[in-house]
Amino acid sequence: MQKAENRLRRADRWVFASEDARRLASVRIGLCTLLTLRLASNDSAAVAAGHTRFHPHFYMSLFEGMPSQELASALQICGIVFALIAAAGLALRASLPLALGCGLILDGMLNSAGRVIVGDAVLVLCLLVLLASGAAASDAWSIRKPLRGNRTSNGARYGWPIRTAMVAVAFAYFFAGFQKWRYSGVAWVTSDNLRWILYGQSHPNGWALFVADRPLLAHVLAACSLLLETCFPLVLFMPKLRWLLIPAAVAMHVGVRLAIGLDYSAQWLTTVIVFVNWPGVVGWLRSAVAPVPRPREASR
Amino acid sequence: MASAAAPRYARPFAVAFLALIVVCAFVPLNLWPFSNWELFSRLRTDKETAWEAVAINRSGSERDYPIASVPRTDRGAICSVWLRRPGTRIVRIYHVELLLSDRDENRTAPRHRTLAWICSAKGARAES
């Protein structure tokens, strides 16, 4: 009992640790820019124009039928504008929920037309956390910053949204692996499951056939994917492992895109945005680009 | 100066938010964006099934229609839409079974096609 309490306290201290305001601001800029790009490439208007059958999923039951093409286009334009305003850190308490609302309806339209959009789920989950952080995400690196006066630049106010988003991303990978263990077990690796996934496409491309034609390669890739997903939460406790597991996750998603055509770019970009210490990267770039003083100047 | 502390609602929000992700995975529930993360989790076999629609025009020539599985109750409405295409007389819907492990040199799997239902001006008619 005491041990469980101690663990909970440690987890609480980790989630509510102090963080740099610029780190949360970088997550705001990254996620809102990514939302802008996803909204720009969203083809809900085409789906609405195609008279696709409407099978409402979850919150889309609020709609009686598929929203019109005009509404989809209007939501897309408004969503892009609000997401850009939120990325700039302006009126975040209004711009972010509006951008997210537009995105949820447009994604819901695709979902209700039978489209698989699981790749966007992690982005939307992290945006929900950002939304819950209130105005804290616009305390730094914001266009309005000069008008706001001094702000505390460190604190749990900036830490908890980043850490909660990190846990959400880790859960997404872990549960993708967990469900494979749950429904398929070790046979997900040892059987020809991956080969049948690749062969089973209507028109498998050269990448898919390259892997599917080599059973050993298919088993190795399946094992690496399952190991990566199962072990991904370790990045929360062992920051050095981020250098290995996050590039591996990016490689896995790029491989899936090439071989199966499923676009998980929103998921791996969200992972990179949330886990990379961007103020640290900016500081490193500045020091790398800054002119090195000559020895005589340095000695003065 | 702004307070550096987390707001009072932060702790219950973080707990409820993360708990919902866990519950959706365990139950499983698909309350998007709270996914059940089940995509590709079930084993595939070398036997694949699919649906195939073929439009027949007045001269008897065939043309493929891209479709997915259609619920029985929707067939009448779907039929009337398909038959609206100029020149289409009937649309035959086939249930197709593919054996992926028996692919030939041309990389095509053997297909076993069974006629499931027919769309005509009289409506949808099940074949069996």
- Average pLDDT for consecutive 10-residue bins of chain A (300 residues)? 91 95 96 97 85 82 91 96 97 97 95 86 98 94 66 86 98 98 97 94 90 96 98 96 98 97 96 96 91 62
A104: buried, middle or exposed (CB in 10 Å: 19+, 13-18, 0-12)? buried
Residues of A in contact with B28 (CB under 8 A): 179
pLDDT of residue A159: 96
Total of domains in chain B: 2
For residue B27, being part of any structural domain is answered with yes
B19 and B59 share one domain:
no
Residue B2 has pLDDT above 60, yes or no: no
Of A23-32, A156-165, B1-10, B77-86, the one with minimum mean pLDDT is B77-86
Q: Give the ipTM of the model, two decimals please.
A: 0.92
Contact A57 B2 (CB under 8 A): no
Contact B14 A160 (CB under 8 A): yes
Q: What is the CA radius of gyration of chain A?
A: 22
For residue B26, being part of any structural domain is answered with yes
Residue A242's identity, in one-letter code, is R
Contact B6 A157 (CB under 8 A): yes
B51 and B34 share one domain:
no
Average pLDDT, chain B: 82
**The token pair that represents A127 in the structure block:** 């945006």
**Range A201-221 burial, b when 16+ CB lie within 10 A, else e:** eeebeeebbebbeeeeebbeb
Where is pLDDT greater, at B63 or A51? B63
For residue B5, being part of any structural domain is answered with no
Average pLDDT over residues B67-81: 64
Q: Return the residue in B11, B22, B34, B35 with the most chain A beta carbons within 10 A, the one to mutate for interface testing.
A: B35
pLDDT of residue A298: 52
Q: In this structure, are residues A265 and A38 in contact, taking their beta carbons and an 8 Å threshold?
A: no
Q: In this structure, are residues A60 and A112 in contact, taking their beta carbons and an 8 Å threshold?
A: yes
B37 and B71 share one domain:
no
Contact A180 B35 (CB under 8 A): no
B30 and B51 share one domain:
no
B37 and B51 share one domain:
no
Containing H/E element for B95? strand B88-99
Give me the half-sphere count of Cα atoms (radius 13 Å) on the Cβ side of residue A266: 28
B79 and B111 share one domain:
yes
For residue B1, being part of any structural domain is answered with no
B36 and B81 share one domain:
no
Contact B11 A167 (CB under 8 A): no
B82 and B67 share one domain:
yes
Question: How close is the nearest chain B Cα to the Cα of A74, in Å?
Answer: 22
pLDDT tens-digit readout, B99-121? 888 776 656 677 788 888 888 88
In this complex, the residue of A51, A104, A188 whose CB is nearest that of residue B43 is: A188
B68 and B24 share one domain:
no
Phi, psi values for residue A88, rounded to 5°: -75, -10
B32 and B58 share one domain:
no
Question: How close is the nearest chain A Cα to the Cα of B114, in Å?
Answer: 18
For residue B3, being part of any structural domain is answered with no
For residue B63, being part of any structural domain is answered with yes
pLDDT of residue B71: 56
pLDDT of residue B111: 77
pLDDT of residue B1: 46
Contact B30 A191 (CB under 8 A): no
Give me the half-sphere count of Cα atoms (radius 13 Å) on the Cβ side of residue A225: 25
Question: How close is the nearest chain A Cα to the Cα of B17, in Å?
Answer: 8
Residue B68 has pLDDT above 70, yes or no: no
Nearest Cα neighbor of B91 from B127, B115, B118, B113 is: B118
B69 and B101 share one domain:
yes
For residue B18, being part of any structural domain is answered with yes
B26 and B65 share one domain:
no
Q: What is the CA radius of gyration of chain B?
A: 24
Residue B16's identity, in one-letter code, is A
Containing H/E element for B113? strand B111-120
Which domain range does residue B70 map to? 47-126
Nearest Cα neighbor of B79 from B65, B58, B60, B98 is: B65
pLDDT of residue A300: 52
- Chain B residues 25-64 within an 8 A CB cutoff of chain A: 25, 28, 30-46, 48
Decide if B14 touches A, using CB distance below 8 A: yes
pLDDT of residue B121: 81
For residue B35, being part of any structural domain is answered with yes
The structure's pTM equals 0.87
Question: How close is the nearest chain A Cα to the Cα of B50, in Å?
Answer: 10
Helix (H), strand (E), coil (C) string for B43-82: CCCCEEEEEEEEEEECCCCEEEECCCCCCHHHHHHHHHHH
Phi, psi values for residue B63, rounded to 5°: -145, 135
